[in-house]
Structure formats: C-alpha cells, structure tokens
C-alpha cells in the first residue's frame, strides 16, 4: 500500500507546477520569440529546482520503504520496470509522433530507435531514475547505506564525478550519465529521511531556508549576467545545493498545502501526460488564432495540469490505462497516511 505525507505531496505539487509551467514557458519563448523577457526568465532561472526536486522526493519515498533484503532485489526491480520503463516505452513514441504530426516544439530524430536509446521529451527522467533505483537499492540491500558516513561517501563520489566530468558532453545512451546527476538528489533525499532531518529542529530548518534564499539569489544573478557558471549548469555546485536546500527547508519547516498536495497526488500521471495535454491546448489556441504570450502560457499550463488530471481519472477506470500510467492493475482498497513522528 502507498504511503502519503501531506508535506511531501505538497512538494510533489510544486514539482509538477514547475515542470508544466517551465516547459510551457520554454516552448512559448522559442515559438513566439519571447527572448529576454519574463517568460524566458522564468523558464531558465529556476532550472536547478525542477528535475532535482523530483529526484530528491524519489529518494525520500525510497527511504520510507527501502530494500533491506537482497533476495527481494529482483521483485524490487520488477516493480520499477512496471512503474518507470513500461510508461517509458509507451509514451516516448506517442509524444514523438504527436510532435511530428502537430509540428509542435522540437522534432524527434528520424531514426525511431534513437527515441528509446537516447530518450525523447521529458521521459529521459524515467530512464535515468530507473538506474538510480537499481544502483542504490542494490547497495542498500547489503546494508551499506545504513550509516550516515557511507551515504555521505556515496554522495561525495557522485558529486566528484559530476563536477570533474562534463556529463553533458558524454554520449548518453540509456541516460546513464543523467543518472549520476539525479543520483545526487536521490541520495540527499534518502539521507534526509533516513537520518531524521525532519526532527532536527526549527533552527536547522530556518537555516536551510536562509541558504535557499541565498542560492535563489545566485540563480538570478547568473541569469542576469552578474557572474558566470560552468557551461554545463549541472556542474554548478551552488545550483546543485539549491536543489537540495529547498526541499530540506520545506520539509524541515513542515510546510503543506491541501491544493498543492492534491496536485501532488497525481504527480506521476501529470509527468507522463502533460506533453500531450499541452500539445492539445496549443493546437486549440492555434486554431483560435491566439497570439498572446500570456494567454498562451496560462492556458497551456492549465491544460498541462488540469487536463492531465482529468485524463488520469479516466485512464484509471481501465486496467490498460493503469498499466500505461505505471500503476497496479488492481486499485488498493484504501491508502493510509504515513504517521508523522512526534
């Protein structure tokens, strides 16, 4: 049965909003030439928060139900295949074909096999996260991540690779290089949960919040050219720190929102479906002759969120829909909330 935590679900909601609105802003800026304006600013300056937040939360959830028996590794991997790889092989070709048919956004390569080996659209995250789960769970199943020191060593090793090798220049079949980058945030989320960050006290949480504000200021100064970072933003140590500090501050302060948590409950499906609902909205706006950048961003973002949720509700009514979403074909009778430690 699934575990629910309103603070974590609220963070999932924030991650979904960032994902959809930033994808909308990026495509709008490219399509309508909104270069240098507020749309491009929003699309580019918050990149260190978007996908790292999803990876951090994946680490949090893994820490709730870790793999502590290596004999169960095969079953664990089987569940991740169902959750991540089945949707990957379904949605990659659907979205690629939709982009070709509608002429929407960047066009996929002509060789269809490249769609799967090198990924297409946002679905690279699914493949990279699968490798992170596979590697971390295997190490954890031997009890090697039970101590903070060992988790810190793993994090330091991943950081050393990410900082010393420009993974953006590496040919990245199967998103193995991206897995190294996401592994940083996954490991941080695992550590924060396993070693009791939530119970460290308000002073620590406020400290993390202060660091988050300072690092957000850094991202703005970089965007406006006050100083520069490495050509590959994934090698910006302060950007990496922001991707960790923000969720730690949010969790440490126990922040939560019913509206955000509601969105977060649908996070996996929103991730999978938002490229399609956004494309549909863009098609409608094109037919209506809408050329307002603001209206484009608002309407397309709303479709990416609300339209995706509506599709999820419909798809969950049939087993084939739940399979496509990476969910179990049988719906559990009840979903208990995870009790919060006092």
**Can you read off the two tokens belonging to residue 146?**
């039970």
- What 8-state DSSP symbol labels residue 170? S
DSSP readout, 245-306? HHHHHHHHTT---HHHHHHHTTHHHHHHHHHHHHHHHHHHHHHHT---HHHHHHHHHHIIII
Q: Residue 174's Cα: distance from chain center in Å? A: 17
pLDDT tens sequence across 215-243: 999 999 998 888 888 888 899 999 999 99
Considering the chain, what is the average pLDDT of its residues? 91
Q: Check if the beta carbon of residue 17 is closer than 8 Å to that of residue 304.
A: no
* Cα–Cα–Cα angle for 33, 30, 17, rounded to 5 degrees: 120
CA distance 11 to 50: 11
Total count of residues recorded for the chain = 342
- At residue 112, the pLDDT reads 93
- At residue 325, the pLDDT reads 97
Q: What is the pTM of this model?
A: 0.93
Which parts of the chain have pLDDT scores under 50? 1, 334-336, 341-342
Domain ranges of the chain: 6-324
Q: Residue 249's Cα: distance from chain center in Å? A: 18
- At residue 334, the pLDDT reads 47
- Any alpha helices (H) in the chain, and if so which ranges? 6-32, 38-45, 47-64, 73-80, 86-102, 112-117, 124-141, 148-164, 176-194, 202-223, 237-252, 258-264, 267-288, 293-302, 308-315, 319-324
CA distance 133 to 76: 9
- At residue 165, the pLDDT reads 87
């Amino acid at each position: 049965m699934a575990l629910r935590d309103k603070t974590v679900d609220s963070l999932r909601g924030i991650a979904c909003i960032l994902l959809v609105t930033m994808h909308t802003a990026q495509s709008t800026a490219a399509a309508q030439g909104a270069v240098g304006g507020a749309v491009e600013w929003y699309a580019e300056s918050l990149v260190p928060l978007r996908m790292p937040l999803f990876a951090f939360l994946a680490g949090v959830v893994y820490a709730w139900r870790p793999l502590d028996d290596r004999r169960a590794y095969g079953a664990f991997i089987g569940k991740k295949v169902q959750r991540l790889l089945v949707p990957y092989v379904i949605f990659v070709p659907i979205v690629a074909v939709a982009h070709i048919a509608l002429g929407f956004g960047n066009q996929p390569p002509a060789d269809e096999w490249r769609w799967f080996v090198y990924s297409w659209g946002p679905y690279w995250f699914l493949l990279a996260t699968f490798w992170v789960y596979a590697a971390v769970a295997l190490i954890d199943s031997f009890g090697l991540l039970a101590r903070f020191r060992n988790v810190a060593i793993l994090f330091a090793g991943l950081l050393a690779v990410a900082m010393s090798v420009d993974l953006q220049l590496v040919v990245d079949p199967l998103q193995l290089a991206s897995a190294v980058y996401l592994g940083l945030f996954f490991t941080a989320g695992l550590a924060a949960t396993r070693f009791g960050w939530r119970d460290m006290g308000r002073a620590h949480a406020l400290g993390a919040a202060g660091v988050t504000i300072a690092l957000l200021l850094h991202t703005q100064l970089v965007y406006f050219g006050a100083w520069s970072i490495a050509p590959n933003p994934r090698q910006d140590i302060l950007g990496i720190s922001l991707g960790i500090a923000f969720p730690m501050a949010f969790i440490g302060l126990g922040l939560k929102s019913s509206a955000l948590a509601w969105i977060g409950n649908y996070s996996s499906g929103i991730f999978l479906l938002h490229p399609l609902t956004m494309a549909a909205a863009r098609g409608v706006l094109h037919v209506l002759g809408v050329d307002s950048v603001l209206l484009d961003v608002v309407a397309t973002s709303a479709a990416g969120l609300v339209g995706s949720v509506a599709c999820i509700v419909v798809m969950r009514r049939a087993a084939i829909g739940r399979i496509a979403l990476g969910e179990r074909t049988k719906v559990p009778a009840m979903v208990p909330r995870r009790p919060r430690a006092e």
